[in-house]
Each structure stands twice: as C-alpha cells, then as structure tokens.
Structure 1
Amino acid sequence: MPATPDLGTRTPQLASPDLLRSVFRRHAAGVAVITASGGAGPVGFTATSLSSVSAQPPMLSFGISTGASSWPAISGADHVGVHILGEHQEQLAATFARSGADRFGAPTAWREGPEGVPVLDDVLAWLVCRVVARVPAGDHRIVVAEVVLGDPAGSGRPLLYHQGRFNGLRD
C-alpha cells in the first residue's frame, strides 16, 4: 500500500470548477487562435488547450465551450485554422479572447486561406486542419483535427498564458 503523502498544514480541496481553474492557473500554456469560416463571416477564439495528438497521421486537438460565440461555426466546420501566437501578439490574443470583440476588424491582419479558412498574418506558425471528431466533454467539446497543410516558418518567441495573464518566455 502506498504511503500517504505529507500535506503539512494544507487541506486538499474537493473537485470543483474553482479548484480546476486554480490548478491550471499554475500551468503555463502556449497560446493559439483557432479560426473557421462561419455563415455570417469568419469566427475565431483564443485557445490554450491545443495539444498534439498523433504524428501519423498528423493530428491535434483543442477544447471549446459549447457556450462560446464561435461554437456554432466550429460545430459545423469541415476545416479550421490553428495559429501559434508570438509574444508580440498579446493584443491579438486578448482580442480573440474578448466576448463581443470585432475579432477580424482592424488591426487584425488576415486573409482567406486554403479551404476558405481565415489565416492570421505574422504568427509563429499556422495550420489548416480537417475536423475529424467533436468529442463531448462536460460543457466543452474536444475537437480532433487532421493537419492538411501549414507554415511553421514565422519568427519570434511564443506567447504563453500563466496565472491569468499573457506572458513571454524569460531568459
């Protein structure tokens, strides 16, 4: 039987949304923007849940709340864009995270890319992916997508999200 860990004077908390948020504030994550074509125009949102799933075939996943304004478009999209943001793009990340923002208006620079997916300019890297599954997970869906093509050649350092703020890497 494993030994009981010494927790000192700390008392563990029961599972709750607040516990999960508190723990993940301590987890530094890369920042991505997910885009898709929508019926009324392009949609997009900031995601820190991006994950590599498989190298063969090349696949990734990300989570999206079913209450998100982008969910209706993402729920029916055949393809999505995945953009890895650089530390110089804190404002872009904030714009795509803000409810009610004009995410594709100035100063956001973008173009229509392959499969009609909105592709953001000046990012560290971008991919266009074919959606292969939307897996229910509580009040979210985990979207699994297969990479179709992309460009990994942007320059700069990655933008991170930690302790509720966007940050760059420290030297």
Structure 2
Amino acid sequence: MPAPRPGPPPQPASPDLLRAVFRRHAAGVAVITARGESGPVGFTATSLTSVSADPPMLSFGVGTAASSWPAIAGTDHVGVHILGEHQQELAATFARSGADRFGAPTAWREGPEGVPLLDGVLAWLVCRVHARVPAGDHRIVLAEIVVGDPAGAGRPLLYHQGRFTALRD
C-alpha cells in the first residue's frame, strides 16, 4: 500500500473548516414548513436525516437566528418536502433571507394538521415534533412521521459545493 501523500497541515476546528468540509458533502435538499402565527413559514434544509424506522422518525437542524425558528419552536407539526431537480428556484427562494417564500410562483396548500404543503415535490411528510435538542447556534428537531406521500415524479435535487445541482448519469 502506498504511503499517504503529504498535504497541508490539519486545520483547527472552526466554522470555516466545517463549511469547507461540508461543501464536499453532497446532500439531498428538503424544505421544512410550519404554520406560524402570522402565516406559513419555511426554510431550505440539507440536514434531513432518517432517525428511526419504528417509530418512523427523522431529524433536521434549524438555526435559532433563522426567521422560521420562532414558528418551529412553537409548533406541534412540521411539513418535510423532498425537492426534485426541477425545483432549484424553489430551493433558492426558501433559502433566501427576506424572500416571500409562499407568494407566487410557489404553489402550496394547507395539509393535515394545518401544515403548509408544497406542490410538485418528490415526496412530503407531515410530522409531529417530538423534541428540540440544543446544538450550538442550532436546534436539532426530532419529529415522528404522521402521514405522507412518496409518489412525486422526478429525480432528487442535491446541494454540493455551495450550489443546487442534479445527479449526473
């Protein structure tokens, strides 16, 4: 086995190191939604993780400084939407600070438990919030799946190297 090639010295832990490493990690793209006191809220998330099959649970991270956090902190239910490669603009809208995320051209409807559901996604879930775990400047939300639909058409949207992209054949 060849010896490892020498490279630059390791970097100490920092927010920049974390961002640099995770730019190399391709992640699926989801939008999390909730009913807020003054209307629907939502944000783009690449931190979606399957946690448990029985009971069916997932997790995602949300920054406590995010505009959606107060609604996520106070709600019992959230919507989780898996985006398709045709939804890069939708992902960008929900990632952009100050955007009118639920205005035209975003197509959505009220779903079970009053959760805003986005149209045209690959799959969606409505989940009951089980816990909000402190994690630095974020909270990890653990949520149990209540109902969903995995039947949307298309291929998944990915986030890699700081941009939305599609799978290559």
TM-score by length of 2: 0.97
SS of 1:93's equivalent in the other structure is: helix
Q: Which amino acid aligns with 1:92?
A: L
Alignment of 1:60-79 (within 5 A): 60-79=58-77
Structure 2 residue 30 is the aligned partner of structure 1 residue 32: yes
Aligned to 2:108: 110
Q: Which amino acid aligns with 1:11?
A: P
Structure 2 residue 101 is the aligned partner of structure 1 residue 94: no
What are the superposed Cα offsets for residues 128-151 of structure 1, whole Å, 9 maximum, x if unpaired? 000000000000000000000000
Unaligned runs of 5+ in 1: none
SS of 1:74's equivalent in the other structure is: helix
| Aligned counterpart for 1:141 among listed residues 139, 145, 150 | 139
Structure 2 residue 123 is the aligned partner of structure 1 residue 125: yes
| Aligned counterpart for 1:42 among listed residues 40, 57, 81 | 40
Structure 2 residue 152 is the aligned partner of structure 1 residue 154: yes
- For residues 74 and 143 of structure 2, the distance between their equivalents in structure 1, rounded to whole angstroms, comes to 13
Q: Which amino acid aligns with 2:122?
A: L
What are the superposed Cα offsets for residues 65-86 of structure 1, whole Å, 9 maximum, x if unpaired? 0000000000011000000000
Q: Tell me the C-alpha RMSD between the 2 structures.
A: 0.9
What are the superposed Cα offsets for residues 3-60 of structure 1, whole Å, 9 maximum, x if unpaired? xx84503210000000000000000000000000000000000000000000000000
| Aligned counterpart for 1:81 among listed residues 70, 79, 82 | 79
Aligned to 2:51: 53
What are the superposed Cα offsets for residues 89-141 of structure 1, whole Å, 9 maximum, x if unpaired? 00000000000000000000000000000000000000000000000000000
- For residues 26 and 52 of structure 1, the distance between their equivalents in structure 2, rounded to whole angstroms, comes to 21
Runs (4 or more) in structure 1 with deviation over 4 Å come to none
- For residues 9 and 28 of structure 1, the distance between their equivalents in structure 2, rounded to whole angstroms, comes to 23
Q: Which amino acid aligns with 1:102?
A: D
Fraction of identical pairs, as percent: 82
